[in-house]
Amino acid sequence: MGKYESLGDENLLTLIAHGDKDALECFYERYATSVFSLARYMLRDEAIAEEITQEVFLALWQKASTFNPQRGSPKGWLMSIAHHRVIDHVRSAKRARDSTDRVARDLFNLHSLYQVDTEDEAHRSMDREEVVKALQTLPEAQRKVVLMSYFEGYSQSEIAQMLDQPLGTVKTRLRLAIQKLRAIFNSSMVQ
């Protein structure tokens, strides 16, 4: 295992594509917390979050050879798979939960931000505080559409209906929000 820790994500993914279980384990150690936390947060169900985390890494094992570096980093790809699986669960549950409460709820409890596994933290280019601050710098309207789409699993059409806004407005807010977050994250990486 130790020999893999120095390898980058893309090299690990190459090894996984060649059936290297140790590489998969190393990749799991790096990103399982992100996947599990996302699923747990969005689904509010630890059992399903476990199930999804397992599914995501099994999918990664099977599909590693199809990874396309032009469309994202291995981490971006993994989180995309994870988010997609969670969304599928959210949508199949037909939003049994009270969505209004979830949207209104403070998604980023600052007291819990620092309870971070230091082993995981070593592999992250950013920390949670930076992400929260970045989200807090967004105008309320932009932040809301990002949170509703990413963490609540609503499509942009659904968001437009729920907020009683034109679809074009929602699209613009999403675009502006992503642009601003990107600028903030890039400057954090440089620093």
Cα–Cα distance measured from residue 9 to residue 5, given in angstroms and rounded to the nearest whole number: 10
Residue with Cβ nearer another protein (80 or 166): 80
CB of 98 to another protein, least distance (A): 19
Q: Which of 44, 97, 105, 182 binds another protein (CB under 8 A)?
A: 182
Say if residue 153 is exposed, middle or buried (CB neighbours under 10 Å; 0-12, 13-18, 19+): buried
Q: Does position 44 bind another protein by CB under 8 A?
A: no
Q: Which of 25, 99, 141, 162 binds another protein (CB under 8 A)?
A: 25
Subset of 94-133 contacting another protein (CB under 8 A): 107-109, 112-113, 115-117, 120, 124, 126-128, 130-132
Cα–Cα distance measured from residue 84 to residue 186, given in angstroms and rounded to the nearest whole number: 25
Subset of 152-181 contacting another protein (CB under 8 A): 153-157, 159, 171, 174-175, 177-178, 181
CB of 59 to another protein, least distance (A): 11
CB of 111 to another protein, least distance (A): 9
| Closest listed residue to residue 149, CA positions, set 101, 55, 74, 84 | 84
Q: Which of 5, 65, 97, 98 binds another protein (CB under 8 A)?
A: 65
Q: Does position 191 bind another protein by CB under 8 A?
A: no
Q: Which of 45, 48, 162, 185 binds another protein (CB under 8 A)?
A: 185
